[in-house]
Amino acid sequence: GAVVSQHPSRVICKSGTSVKIECRSLDFQATTMFWYRQFPKKSLMLMATSNEGSKATYEQGVEKDKFLINHASLTLSTLTVTSAHPEDSSFYICSAPKVGDNQPQHFGDGTRLSIL
């Protein structure tokens, strides 16, 4: 079964609203989680590394004030797209590494964000 849960799976909202996406590790603690963005038929681009109890590390070119990341507990990271605009429409995926696991990272099922 899934070890990383991402919610919601689909969001449609008006331009200017803020949208929060949750990423939970279900049966393990994750001090680190990753947030990716994927455009249609494109690769996954790492946006930021979420660190429990400290500030996220953003990749070059990613607006920190636009994409707020909070990792308040060992099982939950949230990505908030603030004042969303149509160009923020995309597929967002989170992942978390599980210590001692054969897989490098466990991925959530992603969130399709559509801004009207």
Partner 1 sequence: AQTVTQSQPEMSVQEAETVTLSCTYDTSESDYYLFWYKQPPSRQMILVIRQEAYKQQNATENRFSVNFQKAAKSFSLKISDSQLGDAAMYFCAYRRLDTGTASKLTFGTGTRLQVTL
Q: Which residues bind partner 1 (CB under 8 A)?
A: 30-32, 34, 38, 41-46, 49, 51, 91, 93, 95, 97-99, 102-105, 107, 109-110
Instruction: Pick between residue 6 and residue 78 the one whose CB is nearest to partner 1.
Output: 6
Strand partners, 80: 20, 68
Residues 29 and 20: their CA atoms lie apart, in Å, by 21
- Under 8 Å between Cβ of 37 and 100: no
Instruction: Pick between residue 53 and residue 102 the one whose CB is nearest to partner 1.
Output: 102
C-beta of 45: minimal distance to partner 1 in Å?
Answer: 8
Instruction: Pick between residue 50 and residue 78 the one whose CB is nearest to partner 1.
Output: 50
- Under 8 Å between Cβ of 48 and 62: yes
